[in-house]
Amino acid sequence: MLQREISRPIYLDYHATTPVDPRVAAAVLNAMTTAFGNANSVDHLYGEEAAALIDIARSEVATLVGGEPDGVHFTSGASESIQLAINHAARQSRSSGPLRVVMSAVEHRAVFDAIAALEGIGEASVRQVPVDSRACLDLDALKDACAFGADLVCVMAANNEVGTLYPIERVAQIARSSGASILVDATQGAGRVPMRAELWNVTYVALSAHKMYGPKGVGALVTAPDRKVRNSHSLVRGVGDGTPNVPGIVGLGEACRLRRLEMEVDEVRIASFRDRLETLLLADIPEAVINGDRANRLSGNLHIAVSDVPHGAVVARLRRRVALSTGAACMSGAQTPSHVLKAMGLARRLQEGALRLGLGKFTQEREIEEAAHHITEAVNATRRALAVTKS
């Protein structure tokens, strides 16, 4: 067992997913083995107990993002939440024509795909808002796009590749002043940066448990009071309530509770580790470029690019030592250039040398120097190998 622990690579891919906090796992286990009732069978204590646990989770999710418990709809993850929100918005605007969507150019694939599906059947039209070289949104362009007419504005809380944070309160003001609803994909931001959905007038917030030390396969869509619906399935016409995933929902709720209590302290520590890693890497690889908005990014994000050093080769060399990625989880391995880096105008040679490092709550201080050493070695070894091939 100890041997396995020692040989496991350092985990620096917290944007892809996070390990489950053992306290969350304990709550999930309890909901599977002791409080295992069917929350729809409220004729006895077991069902009542499960239903009460769901209510607690609902309240924790709402509190974390500043919404109302009644607005919380449990889903299988952020992708489903995003789809629900976009389809719900489309249904609301159907009588007046296709859904007019304004979205940032760096949204997650889940947003692009859900909108493309509607576009394909003539039920949506899209305007993309550009970002600058740090992936910051052009707010004037957002205003202009909204002025053409918008029903739904989609802007993420934090970017899953380069970590840039978005000014959601300001974006929501712009959206609302043109009469549009706003969907915030808070998958990377929830539990890392404060969210005040109701105060900021946000219509839909999507989030996922596995990005905040909870289990996979469960998430939530939080809707504003003016879109209040009793349960997730009432957003989907004609589908009734199935048996809720009580353990998953309990895990999500407990993860949200712990994030609310611990996020502030955790994020300061994580940022200090990230800064140390950044300093070490820049000292050893001075030509490396740091992407994203260094003044306003996720604490755990470090996105670096080394020109002419193919990232696939670096990641392969690091396979047994450091777990990191070349881009978003849904893109890595696909050899497709990142739409985020393209939208930022990053030179092709840098795009191909991009490495996404993600630190989190369980990253240890001692892992930082070790990871920096291994990454530097892998970059240098890749360079040497390329030089031999070319000579």
Give catalytic residues, as residue numbers.
330
Residue number with CB closer to ligand PLP (18 or 178): 18
Q: Rounded to the nearest whole angstrom, what is the least distance from the CB of residue 367 to ligand PLP in the complex?
A: 23
Q: Rounded to the nearest whole angstrom, what is the least distance from the CB of residue 231 to ligand PLP in the complex?
A: 19
Nearest 5°: CA angle at 58, between 168 and 25? 100
Q: Rounded to the nearest whole angstrom, what is the least distance from the CB of residue 211 to ligand PLP in the complex?
A: 7
Rounded to whole angstroms, how far apart are CA atoms 313 and 382? 7
Rounded to whole angstroms, how far apart are CA atoms 10 and 19? 12
Could you tell me the two tokens for 47? 């069902």
Q: Rounded to the nearest whole angstrom, what is the least distance from the CB of residue 194 to ligand PLP in the complex?
A: 17
Rounded to whole angstroms, how far apart are CA atoms 169 and 172? 5
Contact residues: ligand PLP, CB under 6 A: 77-79, 108, 110, 156, 160, 185, 187-188, 208, 219, 329
Residue 105 and residue 256 in contact, taking contact as beta carbons nearer than 8 Å: no
Residue number with CB closer to ligand PLP (281 or 324): 324
3-state class (DSSP) for residue 266: helix
309 Cβ neighbours under 8 A, 6+ residues apart: 353, 379, 382, 383, 386
- CA quadruple 26, 32, 35, 38: dihedral sign: positive
Q: Which residue is nearest to ligand PLP (CB)?
A: 77
Length of the chain: 391
Closest C-alpha to 256, from 222, 230, 228: 222
Closest C-alpha to 8, from 328, 378, 367: 367
Nearest 5°: CA angle at 114, between 110 and 116? 115
Residue number with CB closer to ligand PLP (203 or 208): 208
DSSP 217: S
Characterise 363 by phi-psi region: left (phi > 0), alpha (psi -120 to 50), beta (else): beta
- Backbone phi and psi for residue 361, each to the nearest 5 degrees, phi listed first: -55, -35
